[in-house]
């Protein structure tokens, strides 16, 4: 097995919203036996607590303090190998962090440099000494620049909006597909243009367009890459 400079297998999966990162990362983690780290859940946790504490998205000091609270209490648990649970201390926040109202705060909260610094530190801490797959938007460029395999997932705007709408409808949330498409485009613009750790593929990232592929197809493709590189047996 070939690994990064720490002697551990680290796989970085990046891409825009609804490109399939979470499902694919889970599939790879299950197949290879890797620790799974969902970086987006950390920013969602900060957004949730800022909403509950009535902290504005422009209150840099308060957001930094919330980010530090999240970093001190955050943990992930892959229950039964199928569901990634999010905990803040003893509180399970798996469903709370994905509530629609808090979700609208994720992009502006993620733009805050202090928040990003704390979350990057947390992400690196969670994979230290572990073989892991980490998914997000700046994993290959900022969090794990030495990862031996970096993948950047994409999909058409229409397909991503379709996936996100289905996800929300399965939760009983009625949505307008055109509105979802506009929200995804807006999220792309914010993530790609922020000053700190913008969304972009690492120079050595392998692009995979998931528009016409199932999650299982993409998992198989990444497993093949890992094998071809000698990263797994």
Among 96, 130, 164, residue at a domain's last position: 130
Tell which phi-psi region holds residue 20, choosing left (phi > 0), alpha (psi between -120 and 50) or beta: left
The tokens for 115 are 């928040």
Full domain range(s) for residue 207: 1-34+131-233
CB 13 within 8 A of CB 109: no
Rounded-to-5 percentages of helix, strand, coil across the chain:
50, 15, 35
Q: Are residues 175 and 135 in the same domain?
A: yes
pLDDT tens sequence across 82-122: 789 999 999 999 999 998 788 889 999 999 999 999 999 99
- Tokens 């950047």 correspond to 152
The tokens for 139 are 């994993």
Among 102, 130, 158, residue at a domain's last position: 130
Q: What pLDDT does residue 104 have?
A: 86
Residue 94 CA to residue 180 CA, distance in Å, equals 22
- Other beta carbons within 10 angstroms of residue 49's beta carbon come to 22
Q: Are residues 145 and 98 in the same domain?
A: no
pLDDT band at 81 (very low <50, low <70, confident <90, very high): low
Q: Are residues 139 and 92 in the same domain?
A: no
pLDDT tens sequence across 63-80: 999 999 999 999 999 987
CATH number at residue 64: 3.40.50.300
pLDDT tens sequence across 120-155: 999 999 999 999 999 999 999 999 999 999 999 999
Q: Return mean pLDDT, the chain.
A: 94
Q: Are residues 149 and 206 in the same domain?
A: yes
User: What are the residue ranges of helices labelled H in the chain?
Assistant: 21-32, 39-52, 60-73, 100-103, 106-111, 113-127, 157-170, 177-193, 215-228
Q: Are residues 186 and 113 in the same domain?
A: no
Q: Is 211 a residue whose pLDDT tops 70? A: yes
pLDDT tens sequence across 35-50: 999 999 999 999 999 9
The tokens for 97 are 């962090």
Q: What pLDDT does residue 147 have?
A: 97
DSSP code of residue 139: I
pTM: 0.95
Residue 194 CA to residue 233 CA, distance in Å, equals 39
The number of folded domains in the chain is 2
Q: What pLDDT does residue 15 have?
A: 98
Among 83, 103, 130, residue at a domain's last position: 130
Q: What pLDDT does residue 230 have?
A: 96
Q: Span 200-217, mean pLDDT?
A: 98
Percentage of residues of the chain with pLDDT beyond 70? 97
Q: Is 6 a residue whose pLDDT tops 80? A: no
CA 51 from chain centre, in angstroms, equals 20
Q: Are residues 158 and 45 in the same domain?
A: no
- Tokens 């949505």 correspond to 175
């Amino acid at each position: 097995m070939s690994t990064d400079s720490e002697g551990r297998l680290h796989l970085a999966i990046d891409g825009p919203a609804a490109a399939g990162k979470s499902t694919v990362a889970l599939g790879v983690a299950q197949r290879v036996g890797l620790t799974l780290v969902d970086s987006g859940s950390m920013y969602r946790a900060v957004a949730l607590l800022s909403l509950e504490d009535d902290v504005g998205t422009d209150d840099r000091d308060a957001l930094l303090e919330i980010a530090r609270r999240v970093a001190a209490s955050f943990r992930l648990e892959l229950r039964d190998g199928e569901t990634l649970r999010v905990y803040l201390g003893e509180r399970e926040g798996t469903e709370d962090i994905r509530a629609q109202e808090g979700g609208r705060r994720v992009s502006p909260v993620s733009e805050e440099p202090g928040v990003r610094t704390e979350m990057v530190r947390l992400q690196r801490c969670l994979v230290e000494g572990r073989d892991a797959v980490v998914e997000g938007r700046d994993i290959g460029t900022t969090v794990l620049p030495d990862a031996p395999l970096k993948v950047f997932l994409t999909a058409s705007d229409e397909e991503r909006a379709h996936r996100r709408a289905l996800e929300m409808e399965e939760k009983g949330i009625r949505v307008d597909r055109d509105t979802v498409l506009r929200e995804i485009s807006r999220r792309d613009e914010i993530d790609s243009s922020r000053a700190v750790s913008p969304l972009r593929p690492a120079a050595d990232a392998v692009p995979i367009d998931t528009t016409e592929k199932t999650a299982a197809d993409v998992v198989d493709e990444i497993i093949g890459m890992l094998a071809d590189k000698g990263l797994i047996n």
